[in-house]
Structure 1
Amino acid sequence: MKHANDNTPLDTVLTTADVVARLRVSRKTLYSLIAKHLPNAARVGRDYRFIEADIVTIFNGMRGSCDSTFGNALPARTITSAAPTRKAVKSTSLRELLTKKPRKVS
């Protein structure tokens, strides 16, 4: 009969702080690497948990050759538009208003 605790053991589970120290990157850099190379990372509250395979995947991503379960990274797409978007027009007009020189009072 199989008991509930007869499961195969997990690898050593590491916290975000452990991985930051091990890879010698900032926390912000680690989070961006997680977003790129581990989209289904194990999250506990605001923190992540990692196993050795996750660290290898992140490190390979840092080197530019990610062997994640999603295969090779897709080439970047560039989209060009004939006309500026409404957001771009609004942003440009706001920038002009904010950088306009104030009127001289006579």
Structure 2
Amino acid sequence: MKAANDNVPLGTISTAAEVMVRLRVSRKTLYALVAKHLPGAARVGRDYRFEEADILTIWRGMKSCVSISGNEPPANRTGSSGARTTKGKRSTSLQKLLTKKRPKRSA
């Protein structure tokens, strides 16, 4: 009895390590790209296996992505003030809120 996939050539299958070297990305970046562009990727244990078409899909996704590292330009701020707050002012006001003394309870 023949299996359904006996007549179909499998082609080249690559491991995640091979794809990382080929695309010159880290494991974290590769897995983020897989989650974004190949939600139904073939997973074997803790690792993924990739066909050539999968690698091309990831590559096309990399070319179309603005950024996957989170280093995107800040979004336009909305609100009553157009001025940006400086990091120092923001952190000191938060520090005051966090270190505010509790009122004493009366006996």
Q: Same fold (TM over 0.5)?
A: yes
Deviating 4+ runs (over 6 angstroms) = 95-98
Other-structure match for 1:45: 45
Q: CA deviation at 1:9?
A: 1.5
Distance 2:97 2:11 in 1: 55
Determine whether 1:17 maps to 2:17. Answer: yes
- Alignment size in residue pairs: 73
TM-score (norm 2): 0.58
Identical amino acids, percent of aligned pairs: 64
Cα RMSD after superposing both structures: 2.8
Unaligned runs of 5+ in 1: 66-94
Q: Which has the higher contact order (CA 8 A, sep 6+)?
A: 2
Greater helix share, structure number: 1
Distance 1:98 1:11 in 2: 61
TM-score (norm 1): 0.58
Based on CA coordinates, which of the two structures has the bigger radius of gyration?
2
Unaligned runs of 5+ in 2: 66-93, 103-107
Instruction: Give 1:100's aligned amino acid.
Output: T
